[in-house]
Structure 1
Amino acid sequence: MNAPDRIEELLSATKDAFASGALVQLKLGGYHGDEPELKAVLVKKITTKAGEKYSFTWRYKTRDTIKNYSQSEALALLREGLKDAFRSAQLATTDFDMLFERNGEKMRLKRTDVEGREVPSTDHNRAKNRPLTETDKPWLKALGLAGKNGAIRHDAQDKFRQINKMVEIFAPLIQVIKAERPLIVDMGAGKGYLDFALYDYLATVAERPVRIVGVEMREQLVADGNATAKASGFAGLSFQSGTIMEFDATGADAVIALHACDTATDDAIFRGISAGAALIAVAPCCHKQIRRQMEAGQADARLEPLLRHGIFVERQAEMVTDTLRALLLELNGYKTKVFEFVSDAHTPKNNLIVAEKDGRAGRDREAVLKQITDIKTLFGIEQHYLEGLLGL
């Protein structure tokens, strides 16, 4: 068999698997074409209103582009890509795997039979909205999200959607970090839902080498997390016991904290600033420190209608706390943005503060300090906890 025939044999196998419903995925890798940020291409079968299509996910360093093609268009793209731009391809079906490798003019094709692999859903909406499409993973089962059959449990569907949404937000932020193998520290990791999902996506899907350390006080969760990481083959994921302020974050490229209660969020921000992390991302939970000061202090009389009712005091405390956090991050060289990262139907604590280091420290410092002072005066606040950590 000559070299071009090996490409045609792979395409024929792909076409047959598509027609029979046995196609799981075709992945093209080893890219060396003209698009420097393109990493790989994933091909799956989807069902749309216009009929069955080949769905191509063009996976770039910091983004994904999804396009659907007819069979003739898809096979033409694959044929051209395998001849020149891609050095390898992996075809997965319910019955066999097929590995294609090209080295110059030499091409090799190897087929291996498999058993027990299920056909993934071809529903268009489900396929395009979830970064994590493979659900038969040890970590998903260990964390109680997937059952023994590899399908996401009915009572874990909302949690799985949340995890996918977090990956969708965090992965692009991490992928633009310049470090060759970024170190991500998750403060208050808990069971490590985000850590496992991020590592799985970045290391195995996006092919972006990373190290992730989950910091957690509860020793049993640390032991469980490390055991699951080992069982999953995630060599770059580990968990360590301790508090946020005990952990030495030196060398961290990203510091993350989801729902660290009250001032624990500030501890995480402080650790990130001290480490000079390129990325700090926190989803605050509870805002008691500032609320106590607002209730005990003397706010501007004009705010009385806004602070007359306890529920409004709570909401204002959240807004003021996180506004001051964003300003203090800007004061230390970070560009910040605040937005909702999941629906409030899942959790009312759904604001995410994202800070990316851009060297703005020193620029307009006095103006930022004045904004901080004015806000504290307006609401009768003596000092934000993070100010004390930063020595302000």
Structure 2
Amino acid sequence: MSRLDRIAEFAVAVREAWEENRLIRLRLSGYEGEEAELKSVDMRRVVIKGREKISAVSHFKTRDITKNYDFDEVMETLLAKLSTEFRVATLNSVSFDLVLERHGQKVRLKQTEIAGREAPPMEHDRAKNRPLTDGGKLWLQQLDLAGKNGRVRNDAQDKFRQINKMVEIFAPLIQGLDAKNPRIVDMGAGKGYLDFAQQVEIVGVELRDRLVADGNDNAQQSGFSGLSFVQGTILDFDASQADAVIALHACDTATDDAIYQGIKAGAALIAVAPCCHKQIRRQMEAGSADGRLDFLLRHGTFLEKQAEMVTDGLRALLLEANGYRTKVFEFVSDAHTPKNNLIVAQKGGGGSRPAALDRIAAVKAMFGIEKHYLETLLDP
């Protein structure tokens, strides 16, 4: 059977799975086209305004982009893309998985029968990955983001934009977890802005009793049965069953506590938005950095920015050394908050541990750093 015949056979299987309501997911990977930083595309069936569509999430190196298409639009381009742009395609259906692999002019198809798999629900934005509407939600009022009229207050617009952007980022990550009912732990939850916005099962860990009590009251009044808050420190909480660990603006080394808990639990997803970077900055000020960096580090404002980048860069390397692939990017404009970097780590494919450890050692030597706090947790 020729290369084009096998690709056509794969496309027929996709169409049949769609028409029989048996399609779960279609994934294209091994991208080798001209679009910069594109890695893969995940597609699933959704219903939007009563019409069945294909929701396609394109995964780039530092961002994901979601677009919705008619099924026939997808099929028109599938044959061409599998011939020239993607080396691997995977069809997950209710009864079988079908994998297409292209090596030059040769194409291989492998089918694996599956028993007992159910088709996923088709409701759109299952984890609220569309922007929040501006008002009309009780929890917005309870968190003092909206007034009595239900509309978001003018002085809360920046916070509301941050929450929206977080929902946009986190929803596909949570949907991609390999768990029917993923257990998500928010470390240092505070008022739980993101937890309320996500509306999935989340446990918020917070030290302050008042915020814990308020959070549980608000969750109950808003009818969020899957959301709860517990009092305690990040390191004392039992996160062993967590599928995802998140921490938004946990101050200084509290971010490292959350990362450590995620690594220790083997969580599939760890995502943190760091706040404050005092621990590494103090070591950089006291240590002996490479003299070639003096033109930067002798200026306080540059030292502060360098300390932030070095701290988070080392966090990413330590995650990679422990089996995670990482991305670091800005999740909102710095016009809304200066603490706008997000570290996203997903289990698997972290690269070579020895290579990551060598890079960590080299960075510490360059900047005169004795030890990152996260290192002391991972290797006390």
Is the TM value for this pair above 0.5?
Answer: yes
| Aligned length in residues | 279
Q: Select which of 42, 45, 49 maps to 1:43.
A: 49
Counterpart CA distance in 2 for 1:352 and 1:376 is 22
The C-alpha deviation readout for 1:11-41, integer Å capped at 9, x for no partner, is xxxxxxxxxxxxxxxxxxxx97254254542
Matches within 5 A, 1:140-179: 140-179=140-179
Q: Show the counterpart of 2:298.
A: 308
Q: Show the counterpart of 1:10.
A: none
Q: Show the counterpart of 1:279.
A: 269
Residue 189 in 1 paired to residue 160 in 2? no
Aligned to 1:386, what secondary structure does the other structure show? helix
How far 1:131 moved relative to its partner?
A: 2.1
The C-alpha deviation readout for 1:356-389, integer Å capped at 9, x for no partner, is 00154xx522211111111101111110000110
Aligned to 1:36, what secondary structure does the other structure show? strand
Q: Show the counterpart of 1:337.
A: 327
**CA 1:35/1:65 → structure 2, altered by over 3 Å: closer, same or farther?**
farther
For structure 1, the residue ranges without an aligned partner over 5 or more in a row are 1-30, 45-55, 69-128, 200-209
Matches within 5 A, 1:69-218: 131-133=131-133, 135-199=135-199, 210-218=200-208
The C-alpha deviation readout for 1:247-275, integer Å capped at 9, x for no partner, is 11110001001111111110000000001
The C-alpha deviation readout for 1:115-161, integer Å capped at 9, x for no partner, is xxxxxxxxxxxxxx952237312211111122233222232222222
How far 1:319 moved relative to its partner?
A: 0.9
Counterpart CA distance in 2 for 1:191 and 1:156 is 14
Aligned to 2:24, what secondary structure does the other structure show? coil
Q: Show the counterpart of 1:327.
A: 317
Q: CA contact under 8 A between 1:57 and 1:67: conserved in structure 2?
A: no
Q: CA contact under 8 A between 1:211 and 1:236: conserved in structure 2?
A: yes
How far 1:42 moved relative to its partner?
A: 3.2
Q: Show the counterpart of 2:378.
A: 390
- TM-score by length of structure 1 reads 0.67
How far 1:162 moved relative to its partner?
A: 1.4
- TM-score by length of structure 2 reads 0.69
Counterpart of 1:36, as a letter, is I
Q: Show the counterpart of 1:65.
A: 67
Aligned to 1:190, what secondary structure does the other structure show? coil
Counterpart of 1:138, as a letter, is L
Aligned to 1:339, what secondary structure does the other structure show? strand
Aligned to 2:271, what secondary structure does the other structure show? strand
Counterpart CA distance in 1 for 2:289 and 2:239 is 37
**CA 1:387/1:146 → structure 2, altered by over 3 Å: closer, same or farther?**
same
Counterpart of 2:341, as a letter, is N
Q: CA contact under 8 A between 1:39 and 1:61: conserved in structure 2?
A: no
Counterpart of 1:148, as a letter, is K
For structure 2, the residue ranges without an aligned partner over 5 or more in a row are 1-18, 26-43, 58-64, 71-128
Counterpart of 1:258, as a letter, is L
Counterpart CA distance in 2 for 1:265 and 1:259 is 8
Q: Tell me the percent identity.
A: 68
Aligned to 2:343, what secondary structure does the other structure show? strand
Counterpart of 2:47, as a letter, is V
Q: Select which of 361, 365, 373 maps to 1:377.
A: 365
Counterpart CA distance in 2 for 1:64 and 1:211 is 23
**CA 1:312/1:188 → structure 2, altered by over 3 Å: closer, same or farther?**
same
Counterpart CA distance in 2 for 1:225 and 1:178 is 28
Counterpart CA distance in 2 for 1:359 and 1:66 is 29
Counterpart of 1:155, as a letter, is D
Counterpart CA distance in 2 for 1:167 and 1:134 is 14
Comparing 351-360 and 217-226, the one that deviates more:
351-360
Find the structure with the greater CA-based Rg: 1
Counterpart CA distance in 1 for 2:52 and 2:186 is 29
